[in-house]
Chains A and B, each alone.
Chain A
Amino acid sequence: KNEVEQSPQNLTAQEGEFITINCSYSVGISALHWLQQHPGGGIVSLFMLSSGKKKHGRLIATINIQEKHSSLHITASHPRDSAVYICAVRYNTDKLIFGTGTRLQVFP
């Protein structure tokens, strides 16, 4: 069982919709990362957070330490947001564990 669970695995949306991708983990962590993998394969780090909320453009990442849960939101989605979104957590044992990703397709 992966120590990082993402949902949904696949997500389709119409342009303009509000998107939410979820990430759950099992025990206490020191940091959580959100990454984006483009259709061509390239991987870009979006956020690293250990508490609260971060915002960059139309992307918002939140984390609830008590519930061991993080969400990535995309406002006013666009076809160029189509990608795989990956959650990764750093446990206190100094391991970085990656989720299997959420594949998002946004249609015009």
Chain B
Amino acid sequence: NAGVTQTPKFRVLKTGQSMTLLCAQDMNHEYMYWYRQDPGMGLRLIHYSVGEGTTAKGEVPDGYNVSRLKKQNFLLGLESAAPSQTSVYFCASSYSSVWGTQYFGPGTRLLVL
């Protein structure tokens, strides 16, 4: 089992460009999450999903969109990247309940110039 994987691992964008981060899990988990991690701050929830076809906003959703068309995939989109979105992005999934024990991906480092 690969667990939770994220693509890409690192990306540099120019302001205004768009991109999609892909998260995939092979554990048949219902719940998936996107977080961002910035220096000096705790992980912050961007969006989450409680099942295929569902999404919900987290703490810092502005500037991001998500989709969960397949149970195993959770996509995070940046329509028009801004330097404030420079961060490390983590995807996670959980099985038993929303906010249950979470399994994290390796992270995607994004730099917006």
Contact = CB atoms under 8 A, between A and B. Distances in A.
Interface of A: 2, 4, 31, 33, 41-45, 48, 86, 88, 90, 94-101
Given A42-B107, A95-B59, A2 B42 contact: yes
Contact of A45 (B44, B101, B107): B101
Contact of A90 (B44, B99, B104): B99
B45 interface: yes
Contacts, number: 42
A76 B100 CA distance: 29
Chain B interface bracket (under 10, 10 to 19, 20 to 34, 35 or more) = 10 to 19
Contact of A43 (B45, B59, B90, B99): B90
Secondary structure of the B contact surface, majority rule: loop
Contact of B42 (A31, A41, A90, A98): A98
B42 A45 contact: no
B99 A31 contact: yes
B69 interface: no
Contacts of A100: 40-42
A95 B33 CA distance: 12
Contacts of A33: 101-102
B42 A44 contact: no
A4 B98 contact: no
